[in-house]
Structure 1
Amino acid sequence: MTTTDPLAPFQWLNVSENEGGGALGVIFSMAFLRGLEPAEVVRRFSLGEHSGEEADFGILSERVYEFVEETHGGEGGGHVGVLQAGEWCVAIEPFGWWVTDHAVVSRLSRGCEVLAVTRHDYAAEHSFEYAIDGTVVMGYRLRHPHERSGTDPDRLNDFMRELGMGLDEPVDDTAWHAAWDANYETAVPRGFALAAKVTGVPLTPALLDRPMLVGPIAPAW
């Protein structure tokens, strides 16, 4: 009898820097927005200044590289690529983390639904935010699934348990260390697996081969 690893399809999002970092590198975010068209998603990221231009992931990567070179990396990637995937739009933010900022995800989610995941291997932490109509209903740092926040922190518990996440707070040092060891390497693929369960969007490398609308992220963010 064979068993299927539920995290295997998401390991392409978890490639270490020593192994090249994968297609998206070791700092990036993805947001999933339901209730908006791609052009409106770009407008929200740009605070109404841009509706996006038809491009591909290669162009997005070039824009991000140029922005990071100019800003020395302290302001994220400066650009987002947006494409439609069923009922949801997927917004890809290379070298960025803005979509899981509480103020930003709340603003993006006004009148719609937004789920966002950030991988950040350096100064910040991997994180997950789920907001509906301007309110964060659930969020957590990917390596600390027992520390959930928001207006409905238990909303996704069933999905999280299906992915093997420990949701109870560790009771002592031994349990803390065990939880840390269990989550350290699996946090990122579990976070994206959770996003896929909620949205139904298949997160495969082929997503990056699709045409997308590319636009700037407003400096005010």
Structure 2
Amino acid sequence: MTGNLRFPWADLPPVKGEETAPDSALPTAPAPRGRRGRRPLAAWRDATGNGYWQWWHLLVHGPVAVVEGFAGAARGRGLIPWPFDGERVEEDMFALAIGDGASAHTRRGLSVEGCRILARQFRNAAEVRHSQNLMRMDHACVLDFHALVPIPPDILRLGATHPDALSWLRRHWGTAEAPRNVQRLVGRKAGRRLPNGHKPVVYGFFTPRAEAPEPLVVALRARWPDLSFALSPRDMT
């Protein structure tokens, strides 16, 4: 199934902005029973249903000019530019809605025509989403994995669900998806005294729990030998 086929629940809550307060200010427990409240970030499951999301901190520190150079290079659109095929999206959604040989009962009352209408509506929504993503040319994401370790064009042409594309991502990024809810955490320190002329920057982001972006950090250390990188999982519960 094409990588363009995404559901509304595949995304975490929207990012509030480029920079945010330390994650101690983020919700860490469910809202009390009987009250309405935003679902805690720790309660959101990944798109495949294989577990909870993992919240990470990436601490980067070193000479001020080098840190600022890294921060500039890390900025991007925050998206993997997979090819978009609206017709394929519609076909995939129709197949999912109608099922292989499924009866009208197992389709929850949807007729064949109803499945076609649903698939077309999903395609239209996907095309709108894709167009909106293409308009994000302002480099709004502060830690774009694709900007730091670019996916080769021949891998991108395979599509998001091709086994070779998934293998490349896990080998070079450690995760088969772009990170979610990427934020620069203002006020975070290095945890120790840094030499004069040095500064830290700390990023927070989510990946599926089973996918640690260690390979990406290894590549960053090789590309920026004057910087120190420390990746650590953080408990959002």
Please give the TM-score of this superposition, normalised by the length of structure 2: 0.26
The structure where strand makes up a greater share of residues is 1
Bigger relative contact order (CA 8 A; separation at least 6): 2
Larger C-alpha radius of gyration, 1 or 2?
2
State the TM-score, normalizing by the size of structure 1.
0.27
